[in-house]
Chains A and B, each alone.
Chain A
């Protein structure tokens, strides 16, 4: 069945450094790829997304890249801050449907 693999499972960076989280998906028909940030005790927050007709999207310090041929997409956070510490989930649509398949999550720790 459809699958989304995410790595690393944990990532520790120094404040100001960049962080990169990578995901691969199995369904070649997937066309929507959101990223969510989940802080402790809260629901996931949509932080950025990309659709299959775009290769890269940027919003201030965060960016997402998509390689459809290789079926992988990545989240890039630059100039990390302690408040970026959270669990990040990638997701891919099940084909062109509205249903999402989530990766296993990456726990990001930004050390001050």
Chain B
């Protein structure tokens, strides 16, 4: 079965620094998304990563804080910039169009970020 991987799996960072999270899929997908899951909470969509163009951000999320890249159909990065303790969360990528499953989203394992 197709695999979605994220790097790093977890990290502890100092406030004011930035962290880039990678999402890699082992086959081409149509859509890639980034979500945030705060401790013990539900999932909130940050943005849709568009291949070859700027990401589409949801209300409350901005490019300066969460720059996103998607250079091809299997890879995307999310950067959490100028971090504060409030950014401590699980960051998840999801994909649509995996292995012929269109209009269904599958999630990666997540990146657990702690900001001190």
Contacts and interface: CB of A to CB of B under 8 A. Distances in A.
B107 A36 contact: yes
B103 interface: yes
Interface in A1-57: 32, 34, 36, 42-46, 49
Interface centre among B45, B92, B105 (most CB of A within 10 A): B105
Given A89-B43, A98-B31, A43 B103 contact: no
- Secondary structure of the B contact surface, majority rule: strand
Given A98-B96, A102-B42, A104-B42, A43 B104 contact: no
Contact of B107 (A32, A44, A49, A105): A44
Nearest to B4: A43
Given A32-B103, A89-B42, A100-B45, A43 B108 contact: yes
B42 A103 contact: yes
Contact of A49 (B31, B42, B92, B104): B104
Interface centre among B4, B44, B104 (most CB of A within 10 A): B104
A43 B110 contact: yes
B109 interface: yes
Interface in A74-102: 89, 98-100, 102
Interface residues of A, number: 17
Contacts of A32: 103
A10 to B, nearest CB: 12
B105 A46 contact: yes
A42 B110 CA distance: 7
Interface centre among A44, A89, A99 (most CB of B within 10 A): A44
23 contacts: A32-B103, A34-B104, A34-B105, A36-B107, A43-B92, A43-B107, A43-B109, A44-B43, A46-B104, A49-B104, A89-B43, A98-B105, A99-B45, A99-B48, A100-B43, A100-B45, A100-B105, A102-B42, A102-B43, A102-B44, A104-B41, A104-B42, A105-B41
